[in-house]
Structures are given as C-alpha cells and as structure tokens.
Amino acid sequence: MNVFVIGIGLIGGSLAKDIKSTQEDVTVYGIDSNDTHLAEAKELGIIDKKATYQDLQLADMVIVSIPVDVMVTEIPKILDAVPEDCVVFDVGSTKALICKTLESHPKRRNFLACHPISGTEFSGPSAAINDLFRDKTNIICEVELTAFKLQEKALQIFQAIGMRIRYMNPEAHDKHIAYVSHLSHISAFMLGKTVIEKEKNERDIFDMAGSGFESTVRLAKSSPAMWTPIFKQNKENVVETLDEYIQNLTAFKELLLQDDYEGIYNEMNNTNKIKGILKGIPLNKK
Amino acid sequence: MNVFVIGIGLIGGSLAKDIKSTQEDVTVYGIDSNDTHLAEAKELGIIDKKATYQDLQLADMVIVSIPVDVMVTEIPKILDAVPEDCVVFDVGSTKALICKTLESHPKRRNFLACHPISGTEFSGPSAAINDLFRDKTNIICEVELTAFKLQEKALQIFQAIGMRIRYMNPEAHDKHIAYVSHLSHISAFMLGKTVIEKEKNERDIFDMAGSGFESTVRLAKSSPAMWTPIFKQNKENVVETLDEYIQNLTAFKELLLQDDYEGIYNEMNNTNKIKGILKGIPLNKK
C-alpha cells in the first residue's frame, strides 16, 4: 500500500509511524512545503520517499495534515490527482469549511473528513511519536458522502492504531470542539501572556511556578501558524465560547469583590465534578 | 526527633513521608480535626502516633498544613504550646496575613513562614506521595524574624527532601503567587464551568476532549475548602490578576471580531516564549 502524507509534522508524522508499525507492505511517501522538515522526516525513517503531487497517481491513501486554511486550497487539487480507489482524509481541527468547499467536487466520494483528537504542544517531524492515537477519538463527518469501500480502507487503519470512531455533522463538530479544544488554547495563551507581562523578571516565574501553572499554560506552547487559521475558520463558535468564559470569570471576580465566599466555594464545588468526567481521558506524555 | 504534622493531607502527608525516609530516629505525630483522615494516615504509615495539642510539649518540629484561614487562629495556640527549641513552620499559599497575625506573638522566633510550591490536584492523606518536593521551590518569608538555630533545623529538612530555597517578603510573595498559582486555578475552574454548562451531555465532553483540555482544566479538581480562604486572604492581588486576564481575553476576542489574524498570530507567537521559561519546571505526575 502506498500511503502519502502531506504535511509531515506532529500529526502526519505520528500517523505515518503508527501505520508503518501496524501495516505490512506499506511505503510512506512524504510531501511537505518545508524541505528541511521533509529531509528530517526521511532521516528519522518516518517516510520512505520524498514525493510531489505528480506522484499522487500511485496513492492508495493520502493523509492531509497541513494548516486548515491551506487544506481548503490543496485538498481539491489532491483529489484531482489521485486514482479512483484512493481515499484521502484530513486531520483538521475545523470541519465545516472543508466539507462545504468539497461538496460539489467530482471526487467528493474519495474524501473522508476526519479529526483525530490527539496531539501534544510540540510541532514538526521530530515531535512525531508512536501510539499518539491509542484510545483517542476520531471524529468523522459526513461519512455518507464517502464511498463505502474507501470508508472501510480508512477505518481499518484507524482501528489498527487504536482509535475510537464517533460520527458527527461538521457544524456540531465545530461547535463542540470550540469548547473542549479551541477555548482551552486561548485560555492558556492568555494566561501565559498575563503572567509574562507582569513578571518581566522571568527568573521569578521560573522560581515560583509549580506544576499547576505548567499544566494550565502548557497549550501556550502550541504553533501560532497552525492555530491562527483554526480560530479564523471557527470564529463564530470561538467568539461565543470566549464570551461565556469571560462572563464566568467576571462573575467570579464580582463574588470576590462582594466578599461572597460561600458563592466562591459553590462555584468551585460545582465544577469539581469535572473529576468524574475527565477520568476517562487518557493523557499523552512525551 | 519528634515531628508533629497538623493537617495530614496531600502536603502535610507528603512532607511526613519524605521526612521519615530521609531522617533517622524520627517519630511523626499526627493531629487532624478529621478523625477519618487521622486513622487513614496511621494505617498508611504516614504518621506513627495520633496526638493532640497537649502533646505539643514533646515537639522538636511542627508542620502546619491546614487551610490558611484556620492557620490564623491555630498557629498562635500552637506556638503557645511548643517548647523553646521547637520550630513551627506553615506551608500556606498566602503569607501576608499570617505574618501580620504573628508579628507580636511572644514566640514569633519559633515560627518560620514557608510556602513549598508543589502539589497535585488531589487531597487527603491518600494523596500523599514521596518526593513531591524534589527540585521544587520553598519560599521563606521574614526569615530574619526566626531564631537562627531554628532556621537551621528547618533548612536541614528542606535540603534533605530536595527543595530550593528562595527568600521573599510576604507582600511580594502574595503578589507574585497570585499570577503564577492563584490565577491558574481560577482560569481552570472557570474553563471547567464554561464547558460543563455548555455540554450538558457529559458523554460529549468525554468523547471530544483530548489531553489538551485535560491538562488545561486539571486544577479545577482542586479542593474548594482549601482554595476559598486563599482567594479571600489574597483578594486584592487576585482581583488585579483577574482584571488583567479578562482584559487580555477580551482583546483577543476583539482581534477575532475585527478579523485581525496577523494580530492573533502575534499574540500567540509572543506568548510562545513561555516554552523557554517553563523548561525548568519539573512536573509531578501521580
């Protein structure tokens, strides 16, 4: 099987590693606009061969793991170039725009809209790790628009690398993911900003910050190049989550200003139930 | 050496474990208002004997690890009860009020104001773990008000369990810690609240939340009984950090509403330097 990975970073590279370790007779071809990353991926053994769009005629499967704004222009071209029995799937953190963009593409049935929910705060081919997707959820949108045999081909891979599948429409995906992923990133970035602005003396942060701060701010290490287009594409939902988050923070501040410590206790106590909800989420540690 | 631990939870229990494993001839006495916790600590071998304030006359060292509002009423009584050569130190997350409360206590020289910056989101004696303090910072306030020999006695323990020491005045401590610890907790609690409110169907959170959300919201599992008095005592600083955090979130939202994606990219890119700053913070995993 010839698997093409377009964009060999954390996600594309980790998928390539898992596919190589779970499938027999696989050749992984890499395409990347960044020549250094491509060479690094080859050297690390993540890909077997460097390739270009001309080689896509050889593809049995294409994984598109590039920023979501570039997907919108590239996936139509990729679909044009692949053979009839090739499945092309993406891994983007937004689903509505890409699904809308491709709705009348003559090869829409070759495309499977996916969002494997996993990652770390690191980027590039050197961030690729084995087993990143084990026990994680892969959200598939508009599955009925993909040819059944090509769904099967992709699902066999997702199963082999340990993913759970959940089906959802693109609008529901973008709305939910704004809460459980996009808002977390903004919350972490702005927490990092607030602390850096105040603590000009970085030594103070280093000395006083415990593992609690590190954990809460971890996502502020994420790639701006990847996240800017995600926030752009999901602007409406993200603004809504931000409004609610800011409202909740402001209400907490008001309780403090009014010395309503019973209210503050209750706010925290009611949120403690997140313990039970989170129990099932496996953590990735690098 | 007779070490008394008053409040056998995550911090008091972990200190007891480390002291037992690094010091010879230590007997750990436990005092706790919660009889179940006390029995549990005895059963787990964290303490050797249950005790009361009457036994404090035997103490060489007293560790006070109780909520910061209770410290203000209890530490004066504890100081009254201990012998002349006993050092009493606290582990509270606020330092100004306790230092002010004790400033004219006749045994002020027996007290060392400490804040070992370490912890997990769990509580109670069963949360106590070994080596929780290794390579972590212990902030000591108003060291000059503690008898030199008693400073030495406590420092020998801090050194043995692997802590780095940093000296600071109580007001500076409370101001800095509001940014690197207290704000992180509120940020996590309100993130948890925002998501729980929206996602009434908890199954959706569970399915869609990745390790990024789990990490950002981790501190929302913390104990409201411990945190409410911390926010109360550090109200002024906490309100200031919350104001700045809310301002930064609002500005980010405005950039989104204005479609200023270059601005959004820059906000994230400028905060990415947190990577370098955090590199030195060791993580505790339970």
Q: What is the mean pLDDT of residues A182-200?
A: 92
Which structure tokens are listed for A233?
A: 């594409």
Per-residue model confidence (pLDDT) at position A10? 95
Q: Does B115 share its domain with B208?
A: no
Per-residue model confidence (pLDDT) at position A202? 67
Per-residue model confidence (pLDDT) at position A273? 85
What average pLDDT does the structure give for chain B? 93
Q: Does B7 share its domain with B121?
A: yes
pLDDT grade for B286, boundaries at 50, 70 and 90:
very low
Per-residue model confidence (pLDDT) at position B284? 43
Of B179, B224, B285, the CB nearest to A199: B179
Min Cα–Cα distance to chain A from B85, Å: 30
Using only C-alpha atoms, what is the Rg of chain B?
21
Q: Which residue, A172, A197, A224, sits at the end of a domain?
A: A172
Q: What gap in Å lies between CA B68 and CA B64, rounded to an integer?
A: 10
Per-residue model confidence (pLDDT) at position B202? 66
Q: Is residue A283 part of a domain?
A: no
Q: Does A230 share its domain with A163?
A: no
DSSP string, A61-74: EEEE-S-HHHHHHH
Q: What gap in Å lies between CA B254 and CA B194, rounded to an integer?
A: 20
Which structure tokens are listed for A61?
A: 């499967």
Q: What gap in Å lies between CA A163 and CA A112, rounded to an integer?
A: 15
Per-residue model confidence (pLDDT) at position A283? 45
- Residues of chain A in contact with residue B232, where contact means CB-CB under 8 angstroms, are 259, 261, 264
- Residues of chain B in contact with residue A120, where contact means CB-CB under 8 angstroms, are 211
Q: Is residue A251 part of a domain?
A: yes
The two beta strands, A137-141 and A111-116, are antiparallel
What average pLDDT does the structure give for chain A? 93
Q: Does A134 touch chain B (CB under 8 A)?
A: no
Q: Is residue B283 part of a domain?
A: no
Per-residue model confidence (pLDDT) at position A275? 81
Which residues touch B209 (CB under 8 Å, ≥6 apart)? A117, A180, A181, A278, A281, B195
**Cβ distance of A210 and B119 shorter than 8 Å:** yes
Per-residue model confidence (pLDDT) at position B273? 86
The percent of residues in chain A predicted with pLDDT above 90, rounded, is: 86
Using only C-alpha atoms, what is the Rg of chain A?
21
Q: Is residue B286 part of a domain?
A: no
Q: Does B29 share its domain with B101?
A: yes
Per-residue model confidence (pLDDT) at position B212? 84
Q: Is residue A102 scored above 80 in pLDDT?
A: yes
**Cβ distance of B118 and A252 shorter than 8 Å:** no
Mutate to test the interface with A, among B140, B203, B278 (most CBs of A within 10 A): B278
Q: Does A128 share its domain with A166?
A: yes
pLDDT tens for B126-139 read 999 999 999 999 99
ipTM, interface predicted TM-score of the complex: 0.91
Distance of CA B285 to the CA centre of its chain: 16
pLDDT tens for A240-277 read 999 999 999 999 999 999 999 999 999 999 999 888 77
**Closest C-alpha to B192, from B227, B214, B220, B215:** B220
pLDDT grade for B279, boundaries at 50, 70 and 90:
low
Q: Does A162 share its domain with A69?
A: yes
Q: Which residue, B147, B172, B197, sits at the end of a domain?
A: B172
Q: Does B186 share its domain with B222?
A: yes
Q: Would you say B201 and B223 are in contact if contact means Cβ atoms under 8 Å apart?
A: no
Q: Does A163 share its domain with A212?
A: no
**Cβ distance of A257 and B239 shorter than 8 Å:** yes
Q: Does B136 touch chain A (CB under 8 A)?
A: yes
Q: Is residue A93 part of a domain?
A: yes
Q: Is residue B83 scored above 70 in pLDDT?
A: yes
Instruction: Look up the domain containing A128 and give its range.
Output: 2-172
User: Which residue in this structure is represented by tokens 């294409």?
Assistant: A62
Cα nearest neighbour of B165 on chain A: A207
Interhelix angle B235-257/B224-233, nearest 10 degrees: 100
Q: Does B125 share its domain with B185?
A: no
Residue A99 backbone phi and psi in degrees, to 5: -65, -40
Per-residue model confidence (pLDDT) at position A286? 32
The tally of domains found in chain B comes to: 2
Give the residue with greater pLDDT, B248 vs B274: B248
* CA distances for B261 relative to A179, B253, B269, angstroms: 20, 11, 12
Strand, coil or helix: what is B14? helix
> Which residues between 191 and 230 in chain B have a beta carbon less than 8 angstroms from any beta carbon of chain A?
191-199, 202, 204-222, 224-225, 227-229
CB atoms within 10 A of CB B233: 22
Q: Does A164 share its domain with A211?
A: no
pLDDT grade for A178, boundaries at 50, 70 and 90:
very high
**Closest C-alpha to B184, from B97, B276, B254, B119:** B119
Q: What gap in Å lies between CA A61 and CA A5, rounded to an integer?
A: 9
pLDDT grade for B211, boundaries at 50, 70 and 90:
confident
Cα nearest neighbour of A272 on chain B: B221
Q: Is residue B285 part of a domain?
A: no
Which structure tokens are listed for A239?
A: 């603004």
Q: What is the mean pLDDT of residues A119-136?
A: 93
The CATH number that applies at residue B86 is 3.40.50.720
Ramachandran bin of B119, using left for φ above 0, alpha for ψ from -120 to 50, beta for the remaining angles: left
Q: Would you say A212 and B119 are in contact if contact means Cβ atoms under 8 Å apart?
A: yes
Q: What gap in Å lies between CA A160 and CA A137, rounded to an integer?
A: 13
Per-residue model confidence (pLDDT) at position B285? 37
Per-residue model confidence (pLDDT) at position B72? 98
Q: Would you say B199 and B255 are in contact if contact means Cβ atoms under 8 Å apart?
A: no
pLDDT tens for B98-115 read 999 999 999 999 999 999
Give the residue with greater pLDDT, A90 vs A201: A90
Q: Does B167 share its domain with B181?
A: no
Which residues touch A79 (CB under 8 Å, ≥6 apart)? A88, A102, A105, A107, A108, A110, A111
**Closest C-alpha to B227, from B68, B73, B116, B99:** B68
Least confident of A16-20, B36-40, B199-203: B199-203
Per-residue model confidence (pLDDT) at position A281? 52
Q: Which residue, A156, A172, A188, sits at the end of a domain?
A: A172
pLDDT tens for A30-79 read 999 999 999 999 999 999 999 999 999 999 999 999 999 999 999 999 99
Least confident of A23-37, A200-214, B46-60, B219-233: A200-214
pLDDT grade for B280, boundaries at 50, 70 and 90:
low
Q: Is residue A180 part of a domain?
A: yes
**Cβ distance of B228 and A164 shorter than 8 Å:** no
Q: Is residue B115 part of a domain?
A: yes
Give the number of A-B residue pairs with CB atoms closer than 8 Å.
309
The two beta strands, A87-90 and A61-64, are parallel
Which structure tokens are listed for A81?
A: 């170039």
Min Cα–Cα distance to chain B from A67, Å: 13
**Closest C-alpha to B251, from B235, B272, B236, B270:** B270
Mutate to test the interface with A, among B11, B70, B129, B217 (most CBs of A within 10 A): B217
The CATH number that applies at residue A227 is 1.10.3660.10
Q: Does A143 share its domain with A182?
A: no
Interhelix angle A183-198/B235-257, nearest 10 degrees: 120
Min Cα–Cα distance to chain B from A191, Å: 7
- Residues of chain B in contact with residue A212, where contact means CB-CB under 8 angstroms, are 119, 121, 181, 184-185, 218-219
Which residues touch B119 (CB under 8 Å, ≥6 apart)? A210, A211, A212, B10, B11, B132, B284
For residues A216, A217, A222 and A224, what is the CA-based torsion angle, rounded to 10 degrees?
130
Which structure tokens are listed for B174?
A: 């409370």
